[in-house]
Amino acid sequence: MKSRLGVLAVLLAASTMLAAVGLVATGGWLISSAALMPPILVLQVAIVAVRFFGIARGAARWGERVVSHEVALTGTTRQRVALWNAAAVLGPRGIWRLRGSDALDRLTADSDALQDDVTRVRTPFIAAALSAALLVVLQFTNLAAAGVALALAFIVAGVVVPLATVRIERDIAQASVRARIALSQHIDTVVNHSDDLRLLGMTDSYLALVDAADRERVSVESAASRWAGLSSLLTGIATGLALFSGLAAGIASYSRDQLDGPMIAVIALLPWASAEIMSTFAQATTARTRVEVSRQRIERVLADAQHRAANHPVPTVTLSAPQALRLRSVAVRWDDVDVVRDVSFDLERGRSLALVGPSGSGKSSIASAVLGLVEYRGSIALDGTEIGQVLDYSRHVTAMLQTTHVFATSVRENLKLASPRATDVQLMQALEDAGLMPWFETLIDGLDTRIGDGERGMSGGEIQRLGIARVLLTSAGFVVLDEPTEHLDSETAEAVWKTLRTTFSDRGLLVITHDERVAAHCDGQVRLA
């Protein structure tokens, strides 16, 4: 079905191009012939043909757009499904290499670019080639010399310019992707970490990086525009030479009584009307180069997923209620450098363990490994089963990060993120256990009250307790607490910590902290240098 639709799209695109040329050429013949004032019946066929070509051009264009976009959007949907499946196979531990917004770019911008493979590359290029062949034959039939001139113009526009375009645009396309990614990452840093940058006095430095990345992007796009202008110039020159060559040959043939006057208009107008077809080759080649860059980026993700599926065991073990989480000689590497190594400890349910160390000691890397977010060496096991073999691992291990994100929706929906099937009774119990009932009782609409968008402000302690309520709604037996009291005053921090110890008394707590007071409350400590 897809191949048949693709062929239909090409035929419709070629019909559009030929109808446009036919409209101009027939119109030229009609005007030239009408100037000689022949009987109206002599012009009637041409009058009907002009109307036909005018209607056919619009109808064929509409049909080509419908069919080609159907093929393109269907292919993009399949591509996105394949990417999602690849991300599922890779998991967070495999996809982490795509830093910043790069992973999202491959799913959105790169996938969208693949639509152009049908709508802006294959369909127009093949249609232009078919149209060019037919027009050269037609022009050669009218006048051999004019046909040769038109053929040479199509060779320049359809072969010479595209070959040069491929060589130049490949580098431009790759530079454009790099510039786009760098700009997105710097903007993401400035927007999402503005408070940290301001406190560190680095706001101006990062704004300068954004400005530099944007200038690089503009420079790359300017280079692309200059080459596009040059290729258009070359195509225009080829078109003009074909026009004047055909016109000169037509006048010479007319002077020898080998050609009638109206046909000179047809011979001259055919190259001019073919200008859009000639420009299609360079445009399609430029689009193809950019499509190939996006395709290579997507294929790298798919290849990584295939490699991982072939070389890593598929999780098959389902655990009921594991009682112990054990790490043995765990090491985590970032960018080919071990940021932490040889970490071993046991964490049992009902116990708390503090992972203590200064900034940069690897606490967060160990937490990420425990959560299954990064690759690691060594062993991390639940009741003796390596976590990579546990099918429902995320059901047993969860986390509460430094800052709980409050989504701009109702209290109910904010809580049900942790347990979509939770009932209102369960949500209310989680709020009570997390110590949020005094705050909840002030809400006018109860669970339907909107929060997170300025309509109902929450203090830092209340936001942290919302995170506690979310974790309570899960069935995870082990919870990673990443600096749970970091941004709270001492009184609120003490209250939140007491709530944590009370509500999570039956769960294993791995507390990531550099606060000795928090570590002192835990049942054990692991220190990282």
Choice between 420 and 486, residue whose per-residue pLDDT is larger? 420
Measured in residues, the chain has a length of 529
Residue 317 is classified by DSSP as B
Indicate whether 317 belongs to any domain.
no
Q: What angle do CA 154, 155, 157 make, to 5 degrees?
A: 60
Looking at 311, 332, 350, the residue that finishes a domain is 311
Sequence-ordered alpha helix ranges (H) in 256-274: 261-273
On whether residue 164 sits in a domain, the answer given is yes
Evaluate whether 259 touches 279 at the Cβ level (below 8 Å). no
Among 268, 283, 311, the domain-final residue is: 311
Q: Could you give the dihedral angle defined by the CA atoms of residues 5, 9, 12 and 17, in that order, rounded to the nearest 10 degrees? A: -170
Q: How far apart are CA 413 and CA 450, in angstroms?
A: 9
In a domain, 318, yes or no: no
pLDDT score of 455 more than 50 = no
What percent of the chain lies above the pLDDT cut of 70?
86
Report which secondary-structure segment, H or E, holds 402. none
Higher pLDDT, 511 or 175: 511
The dihedrals phi and psi of 101, each to the nearest 5 degrees, come to -95, 10
456 pLDDT above the threshold of 50: yes
Whether 282 and 386 map to the same domain: the answer is no
Q: Which of 311, 341, 361 is the last residue of a domain?
A: 311
Flag whether 319 is in a domain: no
Q: Which residues on neighbouring strands pair with residue 333, listed in sequence order?
A: 338
Lowest mean pLDDT among 94-108, 389-403, 447-461: 94-108
pLDDT tens digits, 468-493: 888 888 878 888 888 776 666 677 66
Radius of gyration, alpha carbons of the chain:
34
- My answer on whether 254 and 357 are in the same domain is no
Contact between 66 and 111 (Cβ < 8 Å): no
Co-location of 90 and 238 in the same domain: yes
Q: How many domains does the chain have?
A: 2
- Provide the Cα torsion 315, 320, 326, 330; round to 10°: 20
Tally Cβ neighbours within 10 Å of residue 414.
Answer: 22
Per-residue pLDDT tens for 356-411?
877 767 777 888 888 877 778 888 888 877 777 777 777 788 887 777 788 888 88
**Residue 270 shares a structural domain with residue 304:** yes
Average pLDDT value for residue range 43-53:
91
The per-residue DSSP string of 22-84 comes to HHHHHHHHHHHHHTT---HHHHHHHHHHHHHHHHHHHHHHHHHHHHHHHHHHHHHHHHHHHHH
The pLDDT mean for the chain works out to 80
Identify whether residues 372 and 265 lie together within a single domain.
no
Q: For tokens 């389902």, name the residue.
A: 318
> Is the pLDDT confidence value at 433 over 90?
no
279 and 396 inside one domain: no
| 484: three-class secondary structure by DSSP | coil
Tell me, yes or no, whether 172 lies in a domain: yes
307 and 342 fall within a common domain: no
Give the span between the Cα atoms of 136 and 142, in whole angstroms.
Answer: 10
Domain containing 462 — which CATH number? Answer: 3.40.50.300
Query: Amino acid identity of 71?
Result: V
At 189, list the tokens. Answer: 């840093």
439 and 336, same structural domain? yes
To which residue do tokens 């942790």 refer? 418
Residue 386: what pLDDT?
Answer: 79
- Is the pLDDT assigned to residue 7 strictly greater than 50? yes
Q: Are residues 399 and 259 in the same domain?
A: no
Instruction: Using alpha carbons, select from 327, 330, 346, 328 the residue that is nearest to residue 338.
Output: 330
162-193 burial: b if 16+ Cβ within 10 Å, else e? bebbeebbeebbbbbbebbbbbbbbbebbeee
Task: Specify whether 275 is located in the same domain as 332.
Answer: no
Q: How many CB atoms neighbour CB 42 within 10 A?
A: 12
CATH assignment of the domain containing 153: 1.20.1560.10
Residues ≥6 apart with Cβ < 8 Å to 292: 170, 173
Examine residue 227 and state whether it is found in any structural domain, yes or no. yes
Residue-wise pLDDT tens digits, 146-185: 889 999 999 988 888 888 777 776 667 667 767 777 777 7
Q: Give start and end residues of each alpha helix (H) in 193-325.
A: 194-200, 203-255, 261-273, 275-311
pLDDT of res. 454: 56
- Other residues' Cβ atoms within 10 Å of the Cβ of residue 217: 17
Does 426 share its domain with 502? yes
Q: What mean pLDDT comes out for the span 260-269? A: 87
Distance, CA of 79 to CA of 94 (rounded, Å): 19
**pLDDT over 60 (residue 99):** no
Q: Taking residues 329-338, what's their average pLDDT?
A: 74
Tokens of 82: 């394949």
Please indicate, yes or no, if residue 159 is contained in any of the structural domains: yes
Q: Could you tell me the residue range of the domain that residue 244 belongs to? A: 2-311
Q: How many CB atoms are closer than 10 A to CB 280? A: 24
Instruction: Report the share of the chain in percent with pLDDT over 90.
Output: 11
User: What whole-number distance in Å separates Cα of residue 197 and Cα of residue 200?
Assistant: 5
* Residue position matching structure tokens 């301001």: 198
Distance of CA 512 to the CA centre of its chain: 33
**What integer pLDDT is reported at residue 489 of this predicted model?**
66
Angle, CA 70 vertex, CA 66 and CA 72 arms, to 5°? 120
Say if 218 falls within a structural domain.
yes
DSSP assignment of 93-121 equals: HHHTTSTTTHHHHHHTHHHHHHHHIIIII
86: amino acid identity, one letter: A
For 185-203, what is the mean pLDDT?
A: 72
Write down the pLDDT at residue 77.
Answer: 83
Q: 76 near 111, Cβ under 8 Å?
A: yes
Are both 95 and 121 inside the same structural domain?
yes
